Chain A
Amino acid sequence: QKEVEQNSGPLSVPEGAIASLNCTYSDRVSQSFFWYRQYSGKSPELIMSIYSNGDKEDGRFTAQLNKASQYVSLLIRDSQPSDSATYLCAVILNTGFQKLVFGTGTRLLVSP
């Protein structure tokens, strides 16, 4: 089983809709979870971090964490064409170096 799993997509949504991105992880004791956005040819940029069960909102973005189900999600409200990118779920493993490992990423396409 991969440490972090995501559906590769593409996930296509119309402009203004809600995009829902999902991620599961295998390390039951992980405590830190992140969503990154990556445009083609660029380095990933951090969108959200979440550490506690429940929802965390920041502008149009809401991260949701369910540690019992080992599940993390990202909701993007009022999706814009500029949101089209690959969204990477990342988890810090509970190892000595606190390594950050990534899922394969979900490609989001927002059509005008």
Chain B
Amino acid sequence: GAVVSQHPSWVICKSGTSVKIECRSLDFQATTMFWYRQFPKQSLMLMATSNEGSKATYEQGVEKDKFLINHASLTLSTLTVTSAHPEDSSFYICSARKQGNTGELFFGEGSRLTVL
């Protein structure tokens, strides 16, 4: 159990368009999901914490109006990169924590975004 699925796994878009990435916990309920971004040869950087039914909490330096996060159910969180630019090209990874658990996170497969 504890499977997290992301979609799409890769996406190419034109500069100025918006892209939505979905993160689903397939076999458990997740009150909290986390969104990370990873640039080439760098580590995972936490972007925001997504809580079901409330506004996301963003890390310092992450623009909340550019990276829209919605966590409308206990199994789905979405990240929308608005007005994407080439510098937003990155590997976006979500993770989820089982409801009632304060430990291990389960990671999605990641979504590679390329903005032309």
Contact = CB atoms under 8 A, between A and B. Distances in A.
Interface of A: 32, 34, 41-46, 49, 88, 92, 97-105
Contact of B43 (A32, A42, A43, A88): A88
B67 interface: no
A43 B107 contact: yes
Contact of A98 (B93, B102, B107, B110): B102
8 contacts: A43-B107, A43-B108, A88-B43, A97-B57, A98-B32, A102-B45, A103-B43, A105-B43
B105 interface: yes
Interface string B54-76: 00010000000000000000000
Interface residues of B, number: 24
B97 interface: yes
A97 B108 contact: no
Given A42-B110, A43-B108, A101 B97 contact: no
A98 B96 CA distance: 12
Interface of B: 32, 34, 36, 42-46, 49, 51, 57, 91, 93, 95, 97, 102-105, 107-110, 112
Contacts of B49: 97, 99
A23 to B, nearest CB: 12
A102 B97 contact: no
- A-B pairs, top 10 by smallest CB distance, nearest first, are A43-B110, A104-B43, A97-B49, A102-B44, A43-B107, A102-B43, A105-B43, A43-B109, A98-B102, A100-B105
